[in-house]
Structure formats: structure tokens, C-alpha cells
Structure 1
Amino acid sequence: MSPGDEQGYTETGHTRTRLPDPDPYGGAPRRPHRSSSRSLVTVVGVVVLLIAAIAFANRGGEGGGDGAPAKDNEPKSAPTAATGTRPVTTKTGTIPTGYPHTEQGAQSAAANYAVALGSAEMFNRAGRDSILRTIITPSRVASSEAAFDKAYTPAFSKSLGLNDDGTAPQGYTFVSRTSPIGTKVTESTDDSATVEVWCSGLLGLAGDKSTNPVTNSWFTITMKLEWAAGDWKISTHSQKDGPAPVPGDDRASSADEMSKAVDEYGGFTYAR
């Protein structure tokens, strides 16, 4: 994915501070207080670790918060409808790459990079390093890898109910997905762009005895992109909570339903 650059910053987009009321696996109207408290403690631990990691990775970087456009003091407006232009025709691994050297290309890149940063692969070192080398500007890859290695420790994995290497225990499915809702450019030049990506995310461990059930959150990732190595790459990014809608009255799915959904429903290539 969530996440200025040194405050509340997370390169994974995994800040999860809004917990739904319904019991994710029991179908009851509200989750028991003890379960909610346990999930909240886990969320706070995730946030603290990732803030430290991203602050390290961004040390010495420029601010990545809202910026003023070059010609006026207000963010550029953008229609909610897609442009209809295909964003890319190539990919690196599973990540779409090769974006146009345009403002629209920067928005498409930011949306797809938010998905990569919020994926379950970020919790495994090999998968994480591959993602960072694909989407981070070359000059910052090494510092980003070092920062995340310090954050994604065996203790951190255990706090989420995962194995030491970030994989799910047998019989469980680890869910970590980020879905972009929209993008907005707040500043741009020929070779740089600051893009906000409004997202919804899922994080948790699906299983009958999971103490960290899958929860939903809403957040906005601000990415400062630069044109490097023939593509848009992230130089810095930050994350903040919301905007979040009022929770609906949907019945929470069972652990089995959630596991099947993750296995059966694929992702998308996002375009602006």
C-alpha cells in the first residue's frame, strides 16, 4: 500500500485502527469486548513497529504530505470516472510496471503500488525485497529493505499469529489486501508527482481458532513519485486514517468463507 513522511508513515499500508463491531466469525451483532481488545493491542503493535521502520527509510527525504500545485494553492480536481486509457501492458513479477510519463501514469502507478505494499507478500522477506526493488526508486531501495527487515521480526510475525517467516500456520489463511478507491494529484512537475490514494484494506488471520480475525480499515496513502529508470517509482510515502464510511449492517463471514474468498478472487490492474 499506509503512511508528513516521518510521522505515521508505513510502507506496507497496514495501519489498522478501525475495527468493525460484528464478530467476524460468530455472526453476533457485536464482537465480545475481550476479542476487540486483543485485536486493538495487535493493531497498536503493528503501527508502532511500522512507524519506526518508515521513519528510518525516509530519513533525510523530503516531505510527502499534501503539497501545493505549481500554479495555484489548491489541489487539482479530478473526475471520479476512469480515463479509459490502459495504464500498462507489462509487469514485473505480479506488479504492473511501465507507466506512461504523464500525470495519469503517475496516478495509475500509485494505485497499483498501494496494492503491492498492502499485500501478504510484504510479510515474507523474499517477497518483500522483490516488491521494494520493483516500486521504490533505486537510490532508496537499500534503506527501505533495511528498515523493513528491522520491523518484520519473528516477534512481529507472532503478534499477528504468523510463523517466524511471515507465513500462515497450517490450517489458517493470512489475509492482507489493499483496494484503491480513488487517486488525486496534489503536486506535479515533469519528473515528479505527489499522489494521494484513498484505500480500503483487509488484515488478519482467517481460521476457526484465530485470535486475530480479518478486519477492515480505511486510509489514505500519500506517495511522492519520481521518474527513474524509465518508470514511476516511489521516493517517499506516508499514511493517514480515513476517510472512513459509517459501518454497515453486513453479516460478518465465517473463517471458511473468508479463506475461500481470498483464494478464489483475484486482483486487478488499476488505471486512472
Structure 2
Amino acid sequence: MADFDSKARRARLRLALMGAAVVAALAAGGVLGVMTLNAGDEDLKQDPKAAPSVASSGGSAAPSHKEFTPANAPSIPRLKPMSNAEGIGTGFEHSSLGATSAAISYWEDLDLLDDVIARKQWTAIASKDSPGTIDQGVTEVRKVREGVGLPPSGGTPDGITFSTHVKAALTRSLDTSGDIVNVWMVFDRYATIRDKGADENPLKDQVTNLVLKWEGNDWKVTTETQYTAKVKYPHAYDPASKYAWAEGWRAVADG
């Protein structure tokens, strides 16, 4: 038990330090749209005005129209998957909302430590045109396992659970057809360890993105350079900023 508890603590700390970088290697060369699991605001385009306006001491009149922010504007509804493959939801409708919902669902459901499950999940959601995504994703899971003192292949130790919660998203089409879509996401990640309780220092406000391609009647993750090269960093997310809303950031329902 002592050995397990030590590994559990090390696993949590390691994952916190790495941002649970299960697929961080995919960032090389712009893969997965320059995925940055640890990205903070400094990694996104900064806007000197990207903050809520503050009334001057002169008491100027409030604007006559409401200025939307991600916090006060309608949130993005989440479509539920119509099918399931290897423990990950699949079968999202052919629409921008379908792509956004797929990206959020994939990101929340991907296994972080079990390389066998991770391979099955990546196989289910990866585009046939970018099969290397599967091996790269599994390789990163194994690196994380070795980094916390676990065998390179195997399941998640009993007593450790993780949950990922996407709370905001920004979706952009990368082509004129709308069939290649990039989805930026802001998420929190929590760990729970048996007998230790909930994570006291969860990862908060992490940023990542997935490039999705409409293929085989579903949205698939693609790492094709012709698409990932088109991905641009957005301005930093701020739920209280009208500039973040204008950029396209939207709060996610129940996110």
C-alpha cells in the first residue's frame, strides 16, 4: 500500500507538472494544430484591451446596448454522441456544433494512463489520413507512465481517477466547405486518489485544440499538415471580456 500511495502521489504531481501531457509530442511540427496542453495566457495572442472595461472616475454614462462577454452571452449547447466506440463517444452531427461537441467529448473522455485503452480510443477517433496520430498518442501515454514509476504498458492503478472539464470553446473552419474545423478549448483537470480525496491543486484554465475532419459520417481528429498549418492562436480567453467574445470564445453549457 505504501508503494501504491507513493506512486499515486507521484502520478498526480507528474501529471500536474506536465499538464497531463498525454499527447504533447503531437505538438511537434504543428501536429494537432500546435497542441499546447499547458498553454497559459502568455501562449495565446495577447490583446491589451482584452479585459473588462472599467468606468472612468468621471462617471461616464453606461452604453445603451449590452456588450456580450462569454460569461453573459448564451453558452454553447453540447450535443450528445449517438454511438460509442471503445469507451469514447462518437457519432456527432455534420455541423459546426457537431464538430465542437465532438472535440469537447473526445478531450474529456480520452484515457490518460492506460495505453491499451488509449490506443483503442485514438483508433476510433483518428482520421484514416493521419494514422501516425494513434501511435504518437500511445507513446506519450507510455512516457507519462514511465515518468511516474509505472511499467510502460498497463492499466491505470486502482484508486486513481481523473476528470477533465471543458468550460469554453472557440471553433473556426479551416476550409470553405466547413468540413475541416479547428476547436480551441479551455479546460480544468482534476485527480482523485483513494484515501487521499480530491485533488487540492487541480489544473485550471488549460488550453488545447483539436483539428477535426468530416470523414465516414463522423468527425475525426486529423494531423494533416495542410490543415494544421492553418491553425492560428486566438486571443486569450477571459470570461468577462467583450473582446474574447468578439474573438469567438463561448462558454460551454455545464462547462
TM-score (norm 1): 0.53
Q: How many residues align?
A: 190
Where does residue 189 of structure 2 map in the other structure?
A: 201
Which runs of 5 or more structure 2 residues have no equivalent in the other structure?
1-8, 36-43, 46-68, 240-252
**Does structure 2 conserve the Cα–Cα contact (< 8 Å) formed by 1:106 and 1:232?**
yes
Render the CA deviation track for 1:185-226: whole Å, top value 9, x for unaligned.
1335421111112211113x614489xx67411212211111
- 1:185 maps to 171
Identity %, equivalent residues: 18
Paired position in structure 1 for 2:114? 124
Cα separation, 1, equivalents of 2:218 and 2:116: 23
Displacement of 1:157 in angstroms is 1.8
Inter-partner Cα distance in structure 1 for 2:85 and 2:170: 25
1:133 aligns with 2:119: no
**1:150-189 correspondence to structure 2 within 5 Å:** 150-153=139-142, 156-160=144-148, 162=150, 164-169=152-157, 172-188=158-174, 189=176
Once the two structures are TM-superposed, the CA of residue 109 in structure 1 deviates from its matched residue by 0.6
Residue 38 of structure 1 and its aligned partner are, at CA, apart by: 10
Q: Which amino acid aligns with 2:125?
A: I
Greater Rg over alpha carbons, structure: 2
Q: CA RMSD in A?
A: 4.4
Distance 2:153 2:133 in 1: 18
Alpha-carbon spacing, 1:89–1:150, altered in 2? closer, same or farther (3 Å)? closer
Rate the CA distance shift 1:173–1:103 in 2: closer, same or farther, 3 A.
same
Query: 1:106 aligned to 87, 95, 99, which one?
Result: 99
**Cα separation, 2, equivalents of 1:193 and 1:44:** 30
The TM-score normalised by the length of structure 2 is 0.56
SS of the residue corresponding to residue 208 of structure 2 reads strand
The match for 2:50 is none
Q: Deviations over 1:42-71 (max 9, x none)?
A: 6446778853x2245xx475845889xxxx
Per-residue deviation at 1:94? Answer: 2.6
2:214 maps to a residue whose letter is W
Stretches of structure 1 that go unaligned for 5 or more consecutive residues are: 1-35, 68-76, 246-269
2:137 is aligned with 1:144: no
The DSSP-based 3-state class of the residue aligned with 2:129 is helix
SS at match of 1:81: coil
Q: Which residue pairs with 1:228 in the alignment?
A: 215
Query: 3-state SS of the aligned residue for 1:110?
Result: helix
Aligned residue identity for 1:116: D
